[in-house]
């Protein structure tokens, strides 16, 4: 359930699986308390039914994208499924160079505002094997300098299907299902040729990357206290472009998350789970004749993210904010001062 495109381009790469799961007995069996959230979402079901959740990480042009790492306090716990709708938002309006803010005049691009809407399904066929599918739809607003004279203010709006992600999930390493792997592909279904008459939209600002990527990640969680009320978790995901098109190869990306959650709060049948996590990502520089020249891609960043999950089985709502505390950008790139995530899910 998480996902992020290094350059602020708006390529939709979504999140990784294992973001939300069945709590109830599953939580207890796994050594984690009942309902708990995940960074992508965590749905807690009952019995041994698992409900994982989407993470989402999508990218947006020139500076930073949305995390695709699925950070959650609970991961798959057995057979079962979850359908979810995830919404992410970021407004990239600050020019950043290396580790500090840079003058807006140094970057022709001024604003990239993106709404990432991602419906998806995660289903565990049994306690060891499952899959997740995410189908993103992105709405983007872009302000830059260009047009007929090359120095005219330009404002563009468009919306389209993003890059679909399909991943398998394996959780059969330990009896408590505390560790697992996710693996799959990101498909080039998003548009990467949308443009105006003057070619003001660069490849790193397109919603689709045009590449077929290999996705590989893993997760682990462990209870901290014997009463199962405190649990820590970690997750890592890699995105490696393999097949590219039209002279553009997006950078490879790695996203990681670590956090802690408390599952001892409830009001009647409503379980309330606060969560805190640290998110880190690195993306290498884009390459190819259609990549940005001079280089304005690739980055490293660290974010802090408080979140809250409300679970009223079989429904769950999860939300968080992601605040950058360190960013290093190659060249001039647009970054967002804060990112927002909201996920609604139904477990079955």
Q: How confident is the model at residue 300 (pLDDT cuts 50, 70, 90)?
A: very high
Does the structure show a pLDDT above 50 at 271? yes
CATH number of domain containing 280: 2.40.128.130
Domain housing 29: 2-347
Q: Mean pLDDT, to the nearest integer, of 264-278? A: 94
Instruction: Please report the pLDDT score of residue 25 as a whole number.
Output: 36
Most distant CA pair in the chain, distance: 67
Instruction: Return the H-helix or E-strand segment holding 290.
Output: none
Give per-residue pLDDT as tens, 85-132.
999 999 999 999 999 999 999 999 999 999 999 999 999 999 899 999
Instruction: Return the H-helix or E-strand segment holding 26.
Output: helix 24-30
Give per-residue pLDDT as tens, 184-228.
999 999 999 999 999 999 999 999 999 999 999 999 988 999 998
Instruction: Return the H-helix or E-strand segment holding 335.
Output: strand 315-335
Instruction: Please report the pLDDT score of residue 67 as a whole number.
Output: 54
346/305 Cα distance (integer angstroms): 24
Instruction: Please report the pLDDT score of residue 78 as a whole number.
Output: 74
243/249 Cα distance (integer angstroms): 8
Give per-residue pLDDT as tens, 223-264.
999 998 999 999 999 999 999 999 999 999 999 999 999 999
Q: How confident is the model at residue 66 (pLDDT cuts 50, 70, 90)?
A: low
Q: Mean pLDDT, to the nearest integer, of 58-79? A: 52
Number of domains in the chain: 1
Does the structure show a pLDDT above 60 at 312? yes
Q: pTM of the full predicted structure?
A: 0.83
Query: How many of the other CB atoms lie within 10 Å of CB of 82?
Result: 31
Enumerate helices (H) and strands (E) in the chain, giving the number of each: 1, 19
């Amino acid at each position: 359930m998480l996902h992020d495109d290094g350059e602020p381009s708006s390529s939709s790469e979504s999140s990784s699986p294992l973001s939300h799961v069945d709590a109830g007995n599953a939580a207890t069996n796994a050594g984690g308390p009942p309902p708990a959230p995940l960074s992508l979402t965590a749905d807690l079901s009952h019995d041994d039914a698992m409900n994982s959740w989407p993470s989402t990480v999508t990218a947006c042009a020139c500076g930073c994208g949305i995390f695709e790492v699925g950070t959650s306090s609970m991961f798959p716990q057995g057979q079962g499924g979850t359908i979810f709708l995830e919404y992410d938002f970021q407004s990239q309006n600050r020019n950043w160079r290396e580790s500090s803010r840079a003058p807006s005049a140094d970057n022709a691009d001024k604003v990239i505002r993106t709404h990432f809407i991602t419906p998806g399904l995660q289903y565990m066929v049994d306690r060891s094997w499952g899959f997740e599918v995410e189908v993103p739809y992105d709405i983007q607003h872009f302000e830059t300098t260009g047009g007929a004279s090359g120095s005219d203010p330009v404002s563009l709006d468009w919306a389209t299907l993003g890059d679909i992600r399909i991943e398998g999930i394996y959780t059969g390493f330990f009896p408590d299902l505390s560790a697992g792997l996710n693996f799959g592909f990101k498909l080039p279904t998003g548009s990467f040729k949308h443009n105006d008459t003057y070619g003001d939209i660069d490849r790193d600002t397109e919603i689709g990357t045009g590449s077929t990527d290999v996705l590989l990640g893993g997760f682990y969680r462990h209870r901290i206290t014997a009463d199962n009320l405190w649990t820590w978790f970690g997750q890592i995901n890699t995105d490696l472009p393999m097949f590219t098109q039209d002279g553009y190869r997006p950078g490879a990306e790695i996203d990681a998350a670590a956090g802690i959650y408390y599952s001892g709060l409830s009001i009647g049948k409503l379980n309330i789970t606060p969560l805190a996590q640290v998110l880190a990502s690195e993306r290498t520089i884009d390459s190819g004749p259609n990549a940005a020249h001079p280089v304005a891609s690739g980055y490293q960043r660290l974010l802090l993210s408080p979140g809250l999950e409300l679970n009223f089985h079989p429904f769950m709502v999860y939300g968080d904010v992601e605040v950058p505390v360190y960013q290093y950008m190659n060249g001039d790139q647009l970054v967002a001062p804060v990112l927002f995530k909201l996920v609604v899910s139904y477990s079955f």
